Amino acid sequence: LLSRQVFGWYPFWEKDLHKTLDYSLLSTVAYFSYEVNPKTGDSITAHDWMTTPVIDSIKNYPDKKVLLTVTNFGNENNKTFLKNARAGDTLIKRVIELLDARGAHGVCIDFEGIVNSQKVNYKSFIMAMSQELKKKDYLLYMTVPAVDWHRYLQYDDLIPIVDQFIIMGYDYYGSTSKVAGPVAPLSSGKIWDPFNLTTSVDYYLANDIPASKLILALP
């Protein structure tokens, strides 16, 4: 048995990957993804969640978990969605219907690009999602950025209700960087910014997220 939780996203476009995965090396697989319509909370698409064989493959192992990843990207999309409580209620309802339909174990919320002005709305949405999921013993995972530039995470409220926080440990450098650098540095060189995998983990530990609730995602 694994001594640590080993989590991985399963992207919808990898149609046949389930045939070759070494499931003994995984504990949790998050299907990617339910793409949120930010105006309504309904899905733009859930891709082949209802038919993908990877869910049945994982369920052959009683110690493995399968989650549905829910994605909403960009500042404007997140503002639109988070300011609309009705859209949040719709999303929660749709997600639970999909979890029920496939006998899955929970959800991974992957909202990227949330500004500080929406931190209260985001907290309220996560709390509402958690309340409904827990009625059916479903798990709630949530991605957090490598660097929380916008200071949108309210730890005191989120830590008790989120099962796992997944640090997105990548994209420290990219096309907009002033200098070339590693995508996921363990430490920083002399010409690089001080942010790296080590400082990211230390940051979330310093904000009192227990180590047992942290997963570091690598590219």
Tens-place pLDDT, residues 165-214: 999 999 999 998 999 999 999 999 888 889 999 999 999 999 999 999 99
Mean pLDDT value across residues 113-126: 98
- Work out the pLDDT band at 64, boundaries 50, 70, 90: very high
Q: Residue ranges of the alpha helices (H) in the chain?
A: 53-59, 75-82, 85-102, 119-134, 155-158, 197-206
Least confident of 22-31, 39-48, 141-150, 185-194: 185-194
Is pLDDT of 118 > 80?
yes
pTM of the model: 0.96
pLDDT in tens, 151-162: 999 999 999 999
In 3D space, the residue among 112, 188, 175, 181 whose CA is nearest the CA of residue 149 turns out to be 112
CA 112 to chain centre: 9
In percent, how much of the chain has pLDDT > 70?
A: 100
What was the pLDDT predicted at 191? Answer: 87
Strands 43-45 and 28-36: antiparallel
Does the pLDDT of residue 1 top 80, yes or no? Answer: no
72 pLDDT tier (thresholds 50, 70, 90): very high
